Amino acid sequence: MNSQTFNAYKTRYRNAIRQVLAESEKGRLDEAGFPAYSHRNAFINFLFWQRLRKVMEYIETPAPYENILDFGCGSGVMLPYLAQISKQVSAIDVDLIPLERVQKHIPLASNVKVLDATKTTHNDLSANSFDLIIALDVLEHVKDLPRTVNELFALLKPNGQLVVSGPTENILYQIGRKLAGPEYSGDYHERGIAEIKNDIARFAKIKPIATLYWYLPLFEVFSVTK
């Protein structure tokens, strides 16, 4: 994805998120990352979107895909892109209100299916059915990480990939969170990316994609292959 295409994508979605925030009750959409993706601070905004760009650049090379799962889709910020590179896309989350509100401004493509995680379990999805699963800034929230990772791996096709991103939760991240504002309390985080990597490494070898940034390690992105 070249810079012009990415910036157009970013601008469209950021504008939609800002509209949704203006229409919504304060704090309701914080956990879905709305304040970060629409932040007026140029660095914070750049950092959050750059994570997505790194993922997009990584997954576009093997495209097209048959079936992708966006695990913890949040606002659906990746869905327009995923719909372009895959025949079928499934998006699942425990809270679908953020996605529903964004849909009023950016309708979902016809090949995107939305699943309610409070009503759908991994047993309702076909084993060995996804070429790619993305779990971006979501595994730090789950209560039982080993079980969740095990279930995600069961859904991957042989040689399928799981792509993960998450916060480092180091001292620099903690300071940045305080400077960013009260929307970034992180009280709902169960763990940082280091613990996530350690648990996933029991299943497969970690392949680093990006650290944002080596001199200021706030987020990491990596993949694992089944």
- Domain CATH code at residue 161: 3.40.50.150
- This prediction has a pTM of 0.89
Predicted confidence at residue 186, as pLDDT, reads: 47
Distance from C-alpha of 14 to C-alpha of 90, rounded to nearest angstrom: 22
Q: pLDDT over 70 for what percent of the chain?
A: 88
- Digit-coded pLDDT (tens) for 95-105: 999 999 999 99
CA atoms within a 13 Å half-sphere pointing along the CA-CB vector of 189: 20
> Is residue 210 within 8 Å of 54, Cβ to Cβ?
yes
Answer with the residue of higher pLDDT: 119 or 30: 119
Q: What is the pLDDT of residue 32?
A: 64
71-103 pLDDT per residue, tens: 999 999 999 999 999 999 999 999 999 999 999
pLDDT score recorded for residue 174: 55
> In residues, how long is the chain?
226
Q: In 10 A of CB 51, how many CB atoms?
A: 23
Nearest-5° Cα angle at 62, 57 to 67: 105
Looking at residue 182, its pLDDT comes to: 52
As a whole number, mean pLDDT of residues 165-189 equals 57
Q: Between β-strands 219-225 and 156-167, what pairing exists: parallel, antiparallel or unpaired? A: antiparallel
Question: Is 180 a residue whose pLDDT tops 70?
Answer: no
The predicted-structure confidence for 127-175, as pLDDT tens digits, reads as follows: 999 999 999 999 998 989 999 999 999 999 999 999 999 988 655 555 4
**Residue 208: Cβ-neighbour burial (10 angstroms; 0-12, 13-18, 19+):** exposed
pLDDT of residue 185: 45
Percentage helix, strand, coil for the chain under 3-state DSSP, each rounded to 5? 40, 25, 35
Mean pLDDT of 180-203: 70
Minimal CA–CA distance to 225: which of 134, 156, 129?
A: 156
Mean pLDDT (the chain) is 87
Q: Give the structural domain span for 164.
A: 3-225
pLDDT band, very low/low/confident/very high, at 113 (cuts 50, 70, 90): very high
How many structural domains does the chain have? 1
Type of residue numbered 203? F
- What Rg do the C-alpha atoms of the chain give, in angstroms? 16
Residue in 218, 208, 201, 207 with CA at minimum distance from that of residue 166: 218
